[in-house]
Amino acid sequence: MASTTTTADVAPPGAHGADDNYLTHEKGIASWLLTLDHKRIGIMYFCCVISAFALGGFFALMIRTELWAPGRTIVDADTYNQLFTLHGAVMVFLVIVPGIPAALGNFVLPLHLGAKDVAFPKLNLMSWYMWITGALFLISSLIVSAADTGWTFYTPYSTTTPTAVIPALAGVFVLGFSSIFTGLNFIVTIHKMRAPGLTWFRLPLFVWGLYSTAIMQVLATPVLGITLLMLIVERAFGIGIFDPALGGDPVLFQHFFWFYSHPAVYIMVVPAFGVISEIIPVFSRKRLFGYSFIALSSVAIAILSFLVWGHHMFVSGQSVLAGSIFSAITFLIAIPTAIKVLNWISTMYKGSIHLDTPMLYALMFLWVFTIGGLTGLFLSTMSTDVHLHDTYFVVAHFHYVMMGGAITAFFGGLHYWWPKMWGRMYNETTGRWGALAVFIGLNLTFFPQFIMGSRGMPRRYYNYIPEFQPFHQASTIGAFILGMGFLVTTVSLIRSLLKKPDAPQNPWGANTLEWTIPSPPAYYNFDKIPHVVEGPYEYADWEYDDKIGGYVRKGHQEAT
């Protein structure tokens, strides 16, 4: 997408070694904790998000182990309830919501735009500190007496349970503002910091994905903030807004909560669409099919996502009229989603497909996300939803979308940008084995849950009738395979940091701006402001150079 012309010198005069990059530019812990560099903040987010992911995964394995047999297996009912609450809260608020935008997005977005940084670097660092604060609050509730409300905090359960709900709510409140500030930063960055020639329709689709996400973050999250604040006040003072014992309306809380939390589902998955839209064309060596349809369908999803929250409440006593409007709009969202899947598959038509680890994750994404999307139809259809509501069918559906969609895309993106982040290539074999284990584990964990759910198994059950046991056991085995997959992947990635080979500038032959600078990038990203003259998915000029193990633009030599 970049051209060979440059408009201005960015790099100031002065010399330093060729191994100077953003990782080595400054040293010491303070240089990280006080950094304003978007790449370092991205890396810090990444480390935190991965740690939270390990914690949430540990809770998940505890839950699955407990469900191996009916009755008590390893923990009692109260502990089990706290485990699934923490699993949900950690995975949603600490991992998936900030995962792709704050970790990968922070690193990649300014590079994609040819900018030196995001628009507000200090705000960016503050968002990270807010993440840390929120995480500490959330986890501190674990030490006192972890909340047992489920991540949805439904009233009046959440106003009456004796566990430490207020620290958990305060944590989520702060995390919400962290997310708002990231979104705000990204919107301004995308509007104001694009390199010359980088028009809206020359933007990589990852940027479009982050843009749609940011709109939802900015418009939906404040409502969550005030809702949680009201819930905190309700719990502390009993003001009678949500608590029916004081004349409040518990269903009002559900409306407020889902007004945020349905867009939040798309906050989690739309950036994943962006990652997949980057990976598939690069590894098919072909322009993305239907660029504008994919770009605009993200925006369409962002807008529609605000109008469908009521589909979480078909059995809450909501009127038939309200339910039918929410159901109809929900079906409309299925259309832009289907368009995306078809466009991605069409991109591969007559391509030159390379099955490197990122592409394996992208193909895996297509499989699991299609299942997740299609099973969504069962739940947006009102009459079948009545039967399936609050059963394992819903659990399986959203894990196929969140875990299968957002997390596989996150790992795909991670493998894709890993060489750029660290300047090291990971071992392709272990990467692929990890991906395979994740794929098998994911399907084995969650597919049996569809069967249990449609047969009536309610969600959040500590105990169950013995007829469900074979499915629970399959699911538990799957969860451990999934855990192994992530373990293999983590080991493989960490090993790459300790060992050579160094990554070439452009190992995949991509044509977005971050691949036109060294791996890892210099402190100031671009030495000269790039001037963009073409779209992001033009690969014709890139040729593979066996000597350096990466791609170089025709007629140019990469310095060694």
Q: How far is the CB of 385 from another protein (least distance, A)?
A: 8
Site for another protein in 88-127 (CB under 8 A): 115-121, 123
Site for another protein in 158-177 (CB under 8 A): 160-162
Q: What are the φ/ψ torsions at residue 529 (nearest 5 degrees)?
A: -65, 120
What would the x/- binding string for another protein be over residues 340 to 369, using CB under 8 A?
Answer: -xxx-xx-xxxxxxxx-------x--xx--
Q: How far is the CB of 384 from another protein (least distance, A)?
A: 5
DSSP per-residue string spanning 420-480:
HHHSBPPPHHHHHHHHHHHHHHHHHHHHHHHHHHHTT-BTT-SS--GGGHHHHHHHHHHHH
Beta bridge partners of 312: none
What burial class does residue 500 get, using C-beta atoms within 10 Å of its C-beta: 0-12 exposed, 13-18 middle, 19+ buried? exposed
Q: How far is the CB of 194 from another protein (least distance, A)?
A: 11
Q: How far is the CB of 494 from another protein (least distance, A)?
A: 27
Q: How many CB atoms lie within 10 A of CB 526?
A: 22
Residue 31 near another protein by CB under 8 A:
no
Residue 385 near another protein by CB under 8 A:
yes
Tokens 């589909």 belong to which residue? 311
Compute the radius of gyration of the chain from its Cα atoms.
23
Q: Which of residues 338 and 484 has its CB atom nearest to another protein in the complex?
A: 338
Site for another protein in 491-510 (CB under 8 A): 505-506
Residue 191 near another protein by CB under 8 A:
yes
CA distances from 187 to 107, 253, 357, 361, 529 (A): 15, 29, 31, 28, 21
Tokens 């390199």 belong to which residue? 195
Query: Quick check: helix, strand or coil at residue 150?
Result: coil
Judge whether 41 and 463 are in contact, CB under 8 Å. no
Q: How far is the CB of 101 from another protein (least distance, A)?
A: 15
* Binds another protein by CB under 8 A, chosen from 375, 445, 492, 519: 375
* Binds another protein by CB under 8 A, chosen from 222, 440, 469, 474: 222
Tokens 């996300």 belong to which residue? 369
Q: How far is the CB of 423 from another protein (least distance, A)?
A: 13
Q: Which of residues 393 and 486 has its CB atom nearest to another protein in the complex?
A: 393
* Binds another protein by CB under 8 A, chosen from 205, 223, 265, 268: 223
Site for another protein in 512-541 (CB under 8 A): 515-518, 522-524, 526-530, 537, 539-540
Whole-angstrom distance, CA of residue 104 vs CA of residue 407: 12
Whole-angstrom distance, CA of residue 420 vs CA of residue 418: 5
Residue 205 near another protein by CB under 8 A:
no
Instruction: Pull the structure tokens for residue 92.
Output: 């949603």
Q: What are the φ/ψ torsions at residue 2 (nearest 5 degrees)?
A: -90, 155
Q: How many CB atoms lie within 10 A of CB 349?
A: 9
Site for another protein in 389-448 (CB under 8 A): 389-391
Site for another protein in 287-316 (CB under 8 A): 287-291, 293, 314-316
The DSSP call for residue 531 is E
Judge whether 111 and 521 are in contact, CB under 8 Å. yes
* Binds another protein by CB under 8 A, chosen from 99, 101, 209, 323: 323
Q: How far is the CB of 74 from another protein (least distance, A)?
A: 11
What burial class does residue 121 get, using C-beta atoms within 10 Å of its C-beta: 0-12 exposed, 13-18 middle, 19+ buried? middle
* 96-104, 240-248, 422-430, 437-445 -> range binding another protein (CB under 8 A): 240-248
Q: Which of residues 45 and 393 has its CB atom nearest to another protein in the complex?
A: 393
Q: Which of residues 6 and 490 has its CB atom nearest to another protein in the complex?
A: 6
Residue 251 near another protein by CB under 8 A:
yes
Count residues near another protein (CB under 8 A): 170
Residue 68 near another protein by CB under 8 A:
no
* 215-223, 262-270, 395-403, 418-426 -> range binding another protein (CB under 8 A): 215-223
Tokens 């297996």 belong to which residue? 73
Cis omega before residue 501 (within 30°)?
Answer: yes
What would the x/- binding string for another protein be over residues 449 to 488, using CB under 8 A?
Answer: --x--xxx-xxxxxxxx-x---------------------
Return the biggest CA–CA distance within the chain. 76
Tokens 């051209």 belong to which residue? 3
Q: How far is the CB of 480 from another protein (least distance, A)?
A: 23
